[in-house]
Structure 1
Amino acid sequence: MAQDQVTPPSVSQDDIHRIDDDSFTDRNVCLVTGAGSGIGRATALVAAGNGLTVAATDVDEEGLEETSARGTELDLEGTIEPIGGDLTVDDDIERIVDRAADLGDVKYLANVAGIQHIDSIEEFPMAAYDRMHRIMLRAPLYLSKRCIPHFRETEDGRGCVGNMASVHGHYVTSDKVAYNVSKFGLRGLTQSIAAEGDGEIRSFSISTGYVKTPLVTNQLEDTAEQRGISVEEVIQDVMLGQSRVKEMMEPVDVANLFLLGFSDLGRHLDGGDLLFDGGMTLTYE
């Protein structure tokens, strides 16, 4: 079955890249959005696997519990604390950050949460656009605004925001206007944080092609219908057609990049974008 090619895999101990970093301790907190599945779940597990205390948030509280349970099952060095919340609600965002601060020193923020809607601009429902904007662009800004003061209060006064961008923050495909606009906007947010952070508060974005996540799996049929092609053709021609590396990334591959960016190895990564797209954009045909 074609969809099996993009089935999200689980994270194992061997998948987690360990980085020797003095700031990766249980005293420091990494807040991860979208942690109930996909890249968010993998990032929560990799952060905990590197010894951090993880404040894991998602509107999907059952998914959060599964993430936390997986962390326990893997016997990770750090702990994962589930914090349910809706990123379209400001009171929830404030509560999430306050709860994260109760766990220790908030030092890292991974803005991962995202949703998708497939429609042409002419047919695109503005309610869907508004919801996507709030989750994927406004919430990362407000979370950054609330976390940055906590970063400054840490032992060394430093902190870092990692934003999940996309190849769609470099070039766009049709019928994804809200997603495209949000990802371009996230790169602008990334650079704005860097401009104001004086090298003490860093930021970076990660831009990948298609990753084996529920978000990708769930858009297969809609994309196929919108383009008048089969699901198999969506995978081979749309998702992998421009990529020189003919396999999708796994969520843990992206999660490891987040921790690399957060670590001292990423100290010169400030406002930059990690483009891990298998040659998709820079070798465009």
Structure 2
Amino acid sequence: MATDDIEPPRLAREQVLTVPDERFSTENVAIVTGAASGIGRTTALVLAHNGLTVCATDVDEDGLDETTDRHADLDLDGRIVTTPGDLTDDTALEAIVEAASEEGTVRYLANIAGIQHVAPMEEFPLEKYDLMHRLMLRAPMVLSKLCLPHMREAGGGAVANMCSIHGHYVTRDKVAYNVAKFGLRGLTQSIAAEGEGDVRAFSLSTAYVKTPLVVNQIADTAENRGITEREVVEDVMLGEARVTELMDPVEVANVFAFGLSKHGRFLDGGDLLFDGGYTLTY
């Protein structure tokens, strides 16, 4: 398999799962981080099509514009409003939640934003480590902290955290990503413990998905391991899986929609392994 074969796919309307839920309506708001590309963008589109008002946020303003353009091109239901912001800035996090609350009742939060850096631990730059943890672990905690009062006042809500198989076991040269994903599972359980059943939380752990984050790490992984890019895809990314293909972002986004809906009401504190048999089989 060549890297050209894993270009992030374009979403088609018929791929979107629609979930019946009376709370999935435009007066209720879902904040989605990382919404300028990949899983974040697709989740924003899927939740909007399910009837919600989506507050799509990302530091990439051009990418957010492309997300709203895609929403219009597909003639999807619901609303998407964009609120650009730097998730490593607490003031920006407060502004994101405030902007979302002006659009309706904040009931849902999907923490999806993430970045990757591939390097051995001895060479891993600490500034990159700190950046990844502010973005992928601290920001989800702060956003959850800010959203909880809105969700409680509304009578309930849910937080969904984008985890990974790297939140179950680790691969080399990804220390910041590994630690962040393990931490997200702890955050998820902490929210569930304090949510008293009204505010739920769950995480979703996938294997490799056709996103820019995955495509962009292939060359670095090949260099660090001394193997070809084809071997990275076939052996590192797919070698342990039973379903030997990379997932599409919409397959992840559809699970988020189901988990956030009333049909996921017993999904509280748990992690959904959605990995093609990668983690629990050999």
**Cα deviation per residue 1:241-271 (whole Å; 9 max; x = unaligned)?**
0001011111010000111110011000000
Q: For 1:163, what is the secondary structure of its paired residue?
A: strand
Aligned amino acid, residue 127 of structure 1: E
Identity of aligned residues (%): 63
Residue equivalent to 1:262: 260
Secondary structure of 1:84 counterpart = coil
Instruction: State the partner residue of 1:192.
Output: 190
* Partner deviation per Cα, 1:46-82 (whole Å, 9 max, x = no partner): 0011000000000000000000111111121101111
Give the match's secondary structure for 2:281: coil
| Equivalent residue number for residue 54 of structure 1 | 54
User: For 1:206 and 1:283, how far apart are their aligned partners in 2?
Assistant: 18
Shift of 1:2: 1.2
Q: Give the counterpart letter for 1:277 in structure 2.
A: D
**How many angstroms does 1:220 deviate by?**
0.6
Residue in structure 1 matched with residue 203 of structure 2 by the alignment: 205
The DSSP-based 3-state class of the residue aligned with 2:83 is: strand
Distance 1:5 1:138 in 2: 34
Q: TM-score, normalised by structure 1?
A: 0.98
1:115 aligns with 115
Give, in whole Å, the separation in 2 of the partners of 1:278 and 1:150. Answer: 36
How far residue 111 of structure 1 moved from its aligned partner, in angstroms, is 0.2
Following superposition, which runs of at least 4 residues in structure 1 exceed 3 angstroms of deviation? none
| TM-score, normalisation: structure 2 | 0.99
User: What aligned pairs does 1:9-20 form with structure 2 within 5 A after superposition?
Assistant: 9-20=9-20
Distance 1:159 1:182 in 2: 24
Q: CA deviation at 1:238?
A: 0.2
Aligned residues: 282
List gaps (5 residues or longer) in structure 1: none
Question: For residues 263 and 225 of structure 1, what CA distance do their matches in structure 2 show?
Answer: 42
TM-superposed CA distance for 1:5, in Å, is 2.2
Rounded Cα–Cα distance in structure 2 between residues aligned with 1:56 and 1:138: 19
SS at match of 1:207: strand
Which amino acid letter does the alignment assign opposite residue 256 of structure 1? N
Aligned to 1:78: 78
Residues of 2 paired with 1:257 and 1:269: CA distance? 12
Question: Structure 2 counterpart of 1:2, which letter?
Answer: A
Structure 2 residue identity aligned to 1:25: S
The answer (yes or no) to whether the contact 1:168–1:180 under 8 Å persists in 2 is: yes
Distance in 2 of aligned mates of 1:239 and 1:12 = 25
Deviations, residues 108-127 of structure 1 (Å, cap 9, x unaligned): 00000000000111111000
Which amino acid in 1 is paired with 2:267? L
